[in-house]
Structure 1
Amino acid sequence: MRQDGKATRINLFDVTTPSMRAFHLSWIAFFLCFFAWFGIAPQMAAVRSEMGLTKDQIGWLIIGSVAITVVSRIVCGELCDRFGPRLTYTWLLILGSLPVMGIGLSHDFKTFLAFRVAIGAIGAGFVITQYHTSVMFAPNCIGTANATTAGWGNMGGGVTQFAMPLLAAFFAATLGLGDYWGWRASMLVAGLVCLLTGVAYYFLTQDTPHGNFSELRASGRMAPAGASKGTFLRTARDPRVWVLFVMYAACFGVELTMDGVAHLYYHDHFGLSAKAAGFAAGSLGLLHIFARTLGGYISDRLGGRWGLKGRVHWLFVALLLEGLGLMLFSRMPTVALALPAMIGFGLFMKMSEGATYAVVPFVNKKALGSVSGIVGAGGNVGAVAAGFMFKGAIAWPTALFILGATVSVASFLAFAIRFSLETETEAARECAEAEDQRRQLAEAKPQPSLAGAVA
């Protein structure tokens, strides 16, 4: 049972409907984007030794890895509005795979930085993932759907922390290629998988529950592509978009920063080996199995009870607890204390991300791509800004403490996000209709509450 063709529940083991195919393909695609995007991060100790990189150069690499994503996310959001998520994701994966494979050609800081910056464009996969699930799922579960696809996709940033060193070791030791070619071969594999996934996305998904943008426009059921011109500028004039931009910078920006520095932080600050540091850093990413989904799920439940105001207030609470937790983590003197502290603040960090994109679809439905792109770019702007604190001038524990304090202050911006009575009423009506349809579906054909469905 569907609301205007949109799914009113998430049946995890159903791949026969357009909504669930988009759900699974979008999180898998984003998982691989994230895996490739930060695939080099856990191997930086080897790269640093080989190329003789300084702390300042490491800082520029951290900044470069997320800088171009600011632009690519905004561009991909606009492309989704005009051409649909299917074609946008296909070309992002295919073109983005080239620098991932090509980084093995680098031989010094300048060439390595150039490829590292280019790889960052693939991080725009997040915006397409959020766009695709937003148009496929009804308001009663849109927060959970967005949070789950993004969360499981972001999990690639955790898996890559321990998977890439193991893959590089396989090429270097088991196949006898040596350290020089080990990390290069591992990045080649990551790029090839992204390229193949781009081809699969084209053939296995469609833009909306009713078909592709091209088909809908040809039949007159959708406005021409030119009708979306100017939506970005109109969206950019909405102050709520920029508040969400800053708040997403305070959660996803912190995550990107941690993805870039966590391995070296555990390696240098606590003296762990490369593999041990990889597992320690990777544990943060594995929270995406449930944490971001939990943030979206709570937002959906609070939204169903208290409307859009409930969603916004939950975002405030999650972000505030993230900031306080990060400050605590920065003060931990041993690995035994640092790991649980990191897991604690990481839980609220990822729930904040899910809570943010449980609000985004309600800001401007006619310019969903532009809103998603601008807010998504905020995460990368936050990471770029935070990256300057890790260039060597400030001790990393101090930088983390300052970052946590900044996040705590940013959480109070949530009270500036307001919706009109008309928007609140429409959202409440759509949510109630979707819940009614979901209950009718459950009565007609009972489904397992946990094993087969989420939300």
Structure 2
Amino acid sequence: MKTIVTTKATKLNLTNLKSIPIRTFWISAIAFFMCFFSWFGIVPFMPDVVKELGLSPDQKWNAVILAVTGTVFARLLIGKLCDKYGPRLCYTWLLILGAIPVILTGLVQTPFQFLACRLFVGFIGASFVITQVHTSLMFASNVVGTANATSAGWGNLGGGANRLGMPLIAAAVISFGVAETDAWRYAMVIAGSICFLMGIVYYFFTQDTPEGNFKELKEKGKKIPNAKKDEVGFLEAIKDYRVWILFIVYAACFGIELTVYGTMDDYLQNTFRLERITAGNIVLSFALMNIFARTLGGFFGDRFGNKKGLRGRVLFLAIILAVEGIMLSVFSTITSLTLGIFFLVAFSLSVQMAEGATFSVVPFINKRAIGSISGIVGAGGNVGAFLAAILLKSKSAIAEKIAIAESQGLSNDLIKTAQAEAAANAVSSGYLIIGFLVIVTGITALAIRFSVQDEKVARMETQQPSGKLSPANG
């Protein structure tokens, strides 16, 4: 089997659309954005869904759990498939098939149908893994962290942009004479249709590597990233202790970001007595920090890596995780709104930088199983979100029940006030516990080690003769 000279991009020149890696970067980021936009697209309409379908509180919570559960399994599976069939085909089919439950969400008539759709819609959350795999295959080690973090950050914006975008789509269809009560249904159908079209775009305008698609490279007898059999690469991945440390690390950054922002609206209202709209806008503004915060994490990961080798990437990851944990712990004790917002900004910046830094390390663990490793680590984020949500929900539920019991005989307003204070205190203590665990995770990350050969390969990749700008290099 022949070995070919790599033409991975050594620069992230975003305006060079003739470059295969840059074109792939943009298309994968947009596809990722649309997947997250559609995944969380129903959130702004949940009051309408609850009213129209008659969802109980348990069914509403189950819808959230099912969406996250579907993503965990999809991320674990999709990484392995990427190693075998290539990211181009995997993304194409994920977009086309994932569009179906999104569209069907707009057609549901019963709670069961809605819950089933939420489970399968969650599968498109695996788009993150394919995006990271594809950018890892397109960019050299000196810039891969920045490329991964930027594509992930910009794609992740879809999870926040839907708060503005989906209501705008609904308003647009209403202007065409659609009943206001049905607007959310049309909005979901439109979002799903765009995902379907993105699948077609992905198939015709991207390729697996700068040298060509996996299938074509195999037919020509050329070496591809997963040179060994897929099963061997996957087994190597699950046996590598570093993969599971990164699994925990991603649970401690992306998982915690999902949980904190999912509970932050109520926490800001209960702790600082803010209006719901004000609290929601604050949370949305922090979600929009993904425009640059993840990129910073990948950028500094690359800088540390260029100066201190792969060990430098791990060192920066450990530092930024510790900062994240400290910021969340301090925020949990703040009762001043001004100070609270300051530390919430610091937490938002550090947690998203930690996410970017995580995937500046992932591509160097095992190049024969980049997809499998990305899938396992990506799934860690959703597992972390699930566990953190269970912790906060259980603490809050117990505290609220006690507050209600102790307030019996008082007015409804006083009972609600006592319940809100109890919930705020419970979540605050939960944030403190989580912050401490994140700091411990940062220390644990230092256990990730690389061989001398790994360091040598990473250095050689940046010294490739393809540094000049070319259609393949960028």
Both proteins in one fold, TM over 0.5? yes
Secondary structure of the 1:11 match is: coil
Query: C-alpha separation between the residues in 2 aligned to 1:241 and 1:354?
Result: 16
| TM-score between both structures, scaled by the size of structure 1 | 0.88
Instruction: Confirm or deny: 8 A CA contact 1:157 1:282 kept in the other structure.
Output: no
Secondary structure of the 1:116 match is: helix
Q: Which runs of 5+ in 2 are unaligned?
A: 397-422
Q: Give 1:329's aligned residue.
A: 331
Matched, 1:129 2:160: no
Counterpart residue identity of residue 165, structure 1:
P
Aligned-pair RMSD on alpha carbons? 2.7
Q: Which runs of 5+ in 1 are unaligned?
A: 445-452
What is the deviation of 1:150?
Answer: 0.7
Secondary structure of the 1:416 match is: coil
Cα gap change, 1:360 to 1:14, in 2 (>3 Å): same
Counterpart residue identity of residue 191, structure 1:
G
Query: C-alpha separation between the residues in 2 aligned to 1:359 and 1:132?
Result: 15
Please give the per-residue CA displacement for 1:78-123, whole angstroms capped at 9, x wherever unaligned.
1111111111000000111111111123345433222112111001
Q: Give 1:425's aligned residue.
A: 456
Cα gap change, 1:353 to 1:188, in 2 (>3 Å): same
Q: Give 1:205's aligned residue.
A: 206
Counterpart residue identity of residue 421, structure 1:
V
Cα gap change, 1:84 to 1:437, in 2 (>3 Å): closer
| TM-score between both structures, scaled by the size of structure 2 | 0.85
Cα gap change, 1:226 to 1:298, in 2 (>3 Å): closer
Q: Give 1:447's aligned residue.
A: none
Instruction: Confirm or deny: 8 A CA contact 1:74 1:373 kept in the other structure.
Output: yes
Query: C-alpha separation between the residues in 1 aligned to 2:437 and 2:180?
Result: 40
Instruction: Confirm or deny: 8 A CA contact 2:77 2:375 kept in the other structure.
Output: yes
Cα gap change, 1:105 to 1:341, in 2 (>3 Å): farther
| Farther off after superposition, 388-397 or 206-215 | 388-397
Instruction: Confirm or deny: 8 A CA contact 1:160 1:282 kept in the other structure.
Output: no
Q: Give 1:449's aligned residue.
A: none
Matched, 1:415 2:446: yes
Query: C-alpha separation between the residues in 2 aligned to 1:400 and 1:106?
Result: 37
What is the deviation of 1:195?
Answer: 0.8
Secondary structure of the 1:207 match is: coil
Cα gap change, 1:212 to 1:114, in 2 (>3 Å): same
Instruction: Confirm or deny: 8 A CA contact 1:51 1:108 kept in the other structure.
Output: yes
Cα gap change, 1:392 to 1:185, in 2 (>3 Å): farther
Picking from 37, 43, 46, the partner of 1:44 is 46
Query: C-alpha separation between the residues in 2 aligned to 1:98 and 1:333?
Result: 45
Identical pairs, percent: 47
Please give the per-residue CA displacement for 1:258-286, whole angstroms capped at 9, x wherever unaligned.
45444555577767666545432221221
Cα gap change, 1:82 to 1:285, in 2 (>3 Å): same
Secondary structure of the 1:10 match is: coil
Q: 1:47-446 alignment to 2 at 5 Å?
A: 47-51=49-53, 53=55, 55-171=57-173, 174-175=175-176, 177-222=178-223, 227-258=229-260, 260-263=262-265, 276-333=278-335, 337-391=339-393, 393-394=395-396, 395=423, 396-431=427-462, 433=463, 438=467, 441=468
Instruction: Confirm or deny: 8 A CA contact 2:7 2:211 kept in the other structure.
Output: yes
Q: How many residues align?
A: 438
Instruction: Confirm or deny: 8 A CA contact 1:81 1:369 kept in the other structure.
Output: yes
> Which protein is bigger by CA-based radius of gyration?
2
Please give the per-residue CA displacement for 1:235-277, whole angstroms capped at 9, x wherever unaligned.
1000100000000011111223245444555577767666545
Instruction: Confirm or deny: 8 A CA contact 2:271 2:335 kept in the other structure.
Output: no
